[in-house]
Amino acid sequence: MLGVGALGVAAGRAVGQIAATMLVASALAFSLVPLFPGDPAFAILSQAVGPLPSAEAIAGKRAELGLDRPLAERYLSYLSSVGHGDLTRSWVSNTPVSELFASRAGATALLAGTALALALATTIALGLISAAGSGRWPDELARTLAIGGAAIPPFVLGLLCLQYVVIKLGVGKVVTDGTVHTLALPAAVLATGIACLWIRPLRALLLDALTSPAVLVAQARGASRARVLFVHALPHAMVGFLPFVALGVGGLITGALVVEAVFSWPGLGLLVVEAVRRRDVPVIQGFTLYATFAYVVASKGADLMARVLDPRLRSAGAWAPR
Amino acid sequence: MRVRLLDRAQRMPERGVLHTPRGRVGLALALLVLLGVTAGPPLLGTDPAAQDLSILLTGPSGAHPLGTDQFGRDVLARLLDGGRRSLSAALVVVSGSLLIGLVVGATAAALQGAGDAVLGRVIDLALGIPALVAALAIVGTLGPGLSNLVLGLLLTGWAAYARIARGLAMRGIDRLDVLSARLAGRSLGRSVAAHVIPAVAAQLVVVATVDLGFTVVALASLSYLGLGVQPPQAEWGTMLLESQDFFVAAPWLLLAPAAVIALTVAATNLLGEALAGPGLAGAELAGRETAT
Amino acid sequence: MTPPLRFAAVDVTYSSGVRAVRGVDLVVEAGQCVAVIGESGCGKTTLARAALGLLPGGAAVTGSIQVGGVEVAGARPAVLRRLRGRRIGLVTQDPFASCDPLRTVGHHVAEAWTAHRMRPPPGAVVAALDRLGIPRAEARSREHPHQWSGGMLQRATIAAASAHEPPVLIADEPTSALDADRAHAILAALRATHAGLLLISHDLSVVAGHADQVAVMYAGRIVEYGPASRVLAAPLHPYTAALRAAEPRPGHGLPEGLAGGPPRLDQPDAGCAFAPRCPLADARCRRELPLLLSGVACHHAVPA
């Protein structure tokens, strides 16, 4: 069918763009080592061996890391290692970065996934309430909550929750353990940050859909308000909402960093924060790559999903300009 | 009949800020914060760094309206001093992003054809990298500190403005006014400069208003993580960090900076919403990383 | 016999204060086509929406609107929903805007049943499309709206609107978004349903060709009413004459536009609303509102 062909082309383009973005990200990641205001060999050795490594040890380490080779050569070799899944080794613990990531990824996935689901559910529920009762008190309440929630940054909210809910009221644990048992509060805090940013766009999209001619016609056929909302308005709004979902994923990545720090959630975010504090560049490099990858895949994924869902876009030849 | 350059929804916003109650509240809050931060310290006269070990962790009182912290420093003075730091840094980030974004975006639109394709691709690529990730990368490599933080945020922050500017500029260039100026002999570049850029800049300022709040939060969160301003310098994020150990004894140490951050974000959101007018104002922020 | 649609002394005021419809009396008899013409903003669409009970929230309706004898003005939502689609149908201007682009055309037609939480009887959708002259209806009903042409999609909309054979259909500018040659075919399709038809249009040739009665609206009031042949050929009201003159006709040179601007609808009546733009206006016109007598509301009812 013609539609599938065009979709395939679009998917191919998306892959190309992801590759291009990853290339730029890899350049940024790579450049961190040359940018490092010091000698990486010195940094590694003083961590591992002691405060004053010998000149021979430093020279040996430099050779091992290939630090004196030309930049272009180093970049290419970096690219090829990354392509093979080798993200070099941590300067602090000497463990392969990929191993470090693997051990922590699960906890972050759990946190982020739960937060995403929570945020979506809350946003859709509040958005529907808002749009269905537009202008009346549920709408005003939802909008005020959205602004209020957006005004309190997740990390501040997290801190407040930590202090008031956990410490004062004794609910939950101060130090979370990365499993479902202590998931509720961190996930809720992370979800709130995203949901507050989502509610108003979804509400606007729903209201847009509710005033469209298609909805008028559906009502003229005898459809009830509820049917119009769920069968006509919501699907339309969701298609237009996809770009915001992609942004939300981006927000999750960075939000997780801070929420994990506040709650000491043993995930990738905490790992990276510690790495930044200790100037463990390879971990930071790995994080740059992973975070960019997750974000750009979410973005392009959302674009493609919009194409899949909206039949009009499937046959369109040219890539819709952003 | 003169044709309007940008359609009604895109023109320079009339002083709509004062028309809605929300806008008025936002403006009032923003002025409050601004005044507090600029005029406050001299009015107050207290040295934010002055330690007085005899009055550790005292509550709000006449001499110290927001109490003192674990080193006997006046909380209010630190709040205002830190605020100045946060706000000026955020201002640098936002205005820098706006300017770079405006130039890149308008140039892309003016170049059209191949030049636009290349610049457009650059913008897309920069947008692909989350802002906080780039900031972390820079800070993690070059070391903590406010200036490195600002640099890191600028690295990708301009891209969102560039995208908006490019879109608006392309629409502006299509309009009759500019085409007729070209027909009259002026080069495209001058037409763009004279007609399109002011209107686009006005729109970007609206986006920048809300962005300011988010940037303050980004700076505070990174400082909270120990990556920005370093103690003993005051900043809202570091104050939050330091407050954690003393929460039970002195809750105001946490609440004061938390409240001010919330106030600032609320102010910029309300102001931005009022300036933007009805419609998907949030959509204009698409691309700018939702900061924590 | 109860007329399928009747407006009696209907006034519609929006929450913004705009009085879009003022004292309208209008009847659509069974099988009759009543056209409502007038420039944008004259209240035609408001009338249509009011008949369906689909005015925006906050709009106040006084007077009586009866669909098959059932009062619509101020009726409960449940009553309105029972009427819509079954006793009164709607065809709107742009078929691409009124069809859900994410779903198939078949779904759009099936909406006539699914809106009422019924399943369409097997084959009913295809039969409906067939009746309106859609070739290969079965296969085409699985396509999406953007794959159909405007004319065909409008037929599908008519199929959906007339699926339950409602005694009256409202067609709000059904041909404006289509090519001129399709217009007459669409009207023929509408009339072939044998329903009473409230036709809102600004296309005078379509109206002349298919309407039985014509009502001319200006600033929310009916200023002229009568058989289509008479009103369009020999208008009595200066506004109708002006409308006719503004229509492009081959061999008559460029049409003359109407001078002046559209009337303000948020103010109470002060004489004839058309007076500021009327070549025949005098002091009486500006002071006294002309009533609709013998099919025309003008102090100077003169043939054009």
Residue B288 has pLDDT above 50, yes or no: no
User: C216 has which bridge partners?
Assistant: C37, C224
Contact state of A257 with B292 under an 8 Å Cβ cutoff: yes
A322 vs A280, residue with greater confidence: A280
Written as one letter, the residue type at C93 is Q
Chains in contact with C, where contact means 3 or more Cβ–Cβ distances below 8 Å, are A
Which residue bears the tokens 């990200």? A25
Rounded Cα distance between A287 and A268, Å, is: 8
Question: How many other C-beta atoms are found inside a 10 Å radius of the C-beta of residue A1?
Answer: 8
DSSP state at residue C264: P
Q: Could you report the per-residue pLDDT of B238-258, keeping only the tens digit for each?
A: 888 888 777 777 778 888 888
Cα dist from C162 to C33, C139, C152, C201, whole Å: 15, 21, 15, 19
Chains in contact with B, where contact means 3 or more Cβ–Cβ distances below 8 Å, are A
Q: Percentage of chain A with pLDDT > 70?
A: 93
Q: Does A221 touch chain C (CB under 8 A)?
A: yes
Rounded Cα distance between C265 and A113, Å, is: 54
Residue C304's pLDDT band (boundaries 50, 70, 90)? very low
Query: Could you report how far apart the first and last alpha carbons of chain A are, in Å?
Result: 26
Q: Given this model, what pLDDT does residue A34 score?
A: 82
Q: Does C252 touch chain A (CB under 8 A)?
A: no
Q: Could you report the per-residue pLDDT of A299-313, keeping only the tens digit for each?
A: 888 888 888 887 776
Q: Which residue among A204, A248, A288 sits closest to B137, beta carbon to beta carbon?
A: A288
- Taking contacts as CB-CB distances below 8 angstroms, the residues of chain A near B279 are 204
Instruction: Give the minimum alpha-carbon distance from C84 to chain A in angstroms, rounded to a whole number.
Output: 5
- Taking contacts as CB-CB distances below 8 angstroms, the residues of chain B near A244 are 282, 286
Residue B289 has pLDDT above 50, yes or no: no
Cα dist from B57 to A163, B46, B222, C143, whole Å: 17, 17, 25, 73
- Nearest CA to A295 out of C120, C221, B128, C91 is that of B128
A280: left (phi over 0), alpha (psi -120 to 50) or beta: beta
Q: Give the CATH number of the domain where residue B175 resides.
A: 1.10.3720.10
Q: Which residue among A243, A277, A292 sits closest to B129, beta carbon to beta carbon?
A: A292
Rounded Cα distance between B140 and A202, Å, is: 36
Task: Pick the most confident of A76-90, B61-75, B185-199, C101-115.
Answer: C101-115
- Within-domain flag for B88: yes
Q: Given this model, what pLDDT does residue C213 score?
A: 93
Residue A82's pLDDT band (boundaries 50, 70, 90)? confident
Rounded Cα distance between C290 and C297, Å, is: 5
Rounded Cα distance between C63 and C132, Å, is: 36
- Taking contacts as CB-CB distances below 8 angstroms, the residues of chain A near C101 are 214, 310-312
Q: Given this model, what pLDDT does residue B287 score?
A: 31
Rounded Cα distance between B41 and B28, Å, is: 20
Residue A174's pLDDT band (boundaries 50, 70, 90)? low
Rounded Cα distance between A111 and A271, Å, is: 14
Q: Which residues 81-110 on chain C approach chain A with CB closer than 8 angstroms?
A: 81-86, 89-90, 92-94, 97-102
Q: Given this model, what pLDDT does residue B7 score?
A: 37
Q: Which residues 107-166 on chain A approach chain C with CB closer than 8 angstroms?
A: 135
DSSP letters of C200-245?
E-S-HHHHHHH-SEEEEEETTEEEEEEEHHHHHHS--SHHHHHHHH
Cα dist from A16 to A19, A141, A160, A256, A309, whole Å: 5, 44, 44, 28, 22
Note whether A168 and A93 are within 8 A (CB): no
Q: Could you report the per-residue pLDDT of C247-288, keeping only the tens digit for each?
A: 776 776 667 677 777 777 777 777 888 888 888 888 888 888
Note whether A238 and A310 are within 8 A (CB): no
The structural domain count of chain B equals 1
Cα dist from B194 to A231, B113, C165, whole Å: 48, 21, 61
Q: If you average pLDDT over every residue of chain C, what do you get?
A: 87
**Preceding omega of A235 cis (within 30 degrees of 0):** no
Average the pLDDT over B202-207 and give the result. 86
Residue A314's pLDDT band (boundaries 50, 70, 90)? low
- Taking contacts as CB-CB distances below 8 angstroms, the residues of chain A near C107 are none
C182's tokens: 């399709």
What residue in C sits closest to A223 (Cα-Cα)? C115
- Within-domain flag for B188: yes
Cα Rg of chain B, angstroms: 22
Residue B212 has pLDDT above 70, yes or no: yes
Report how many Cβ contacts below 8 Å link chain A to chain C. Answer: 78
Q: Given this model, what pLDDT does residue B191 score?
A: 63
- Nearest CA to B31 out of B47, B46, B18 is that of B18
Q: Give the range among A134-138, A226-230, B118-122, B198-202 with minimum mean pLDDT.
A: A134-138
User: C37 has which bridge partners?
Assistant: C216
Instruction: Give the minimum alpha-carbon distance from A117 to chain C in angstroms, rounded to a whole number.
Output: 25
Contact state of C84 with A221 under an 8 Å Cβ cutoff: yes
Question: How many other C-beta atoms are found inside a 10 Å radius of the C-beta of residue A219?
Answer: 24
- N residues, chain C: 304
Contact state of A222 with C92 under an 8 Å Cβ cutoff: no
**Helix or strand or coil: residue C44?**
helix
CA angle at residue B249 from B244 to B253, to 5 degrees? 50
**Which of B124, B127, B133, B171 is the best residue to mutate to test the A interface, defined by the most A CB atoms within 10 Å of its own CB?**
B133
Residue C212 has pLDDT above 50, yes or no: yes
Q: Given this model, what pLDDT does residue B258 score?
A: 87
ipTM, two decimals: 0.86
Instruction: Give the minimum alpha-carbon distance from A149 to chain B in angstroms, rounded to a whole number.
Output: 9
Rounded Cα distance between B288 and B290, Å, is: 6
Q: Indicate the pTM of the whole model.
A: 0.80
Contact state of B140 with A250 under an 8 Å Cβ cutoff: no
Written as one letter, the residue type at C59 is A
Pick among 2.60.120.10, 3.40.190.10, 3.50.50.60, 3.40.50.300: CATH of C5-250+270-287? 3.40.50.300
Q: Containing domain of residue B77, as a range?
A: 19-44+67-291
- N residues, chain A: 322
Q: Which residues contact C47 (CB under 8 A, 6 or more apart)?
A: C7, C10, C12, C21, C24, C26, C36, C198, C200, C217
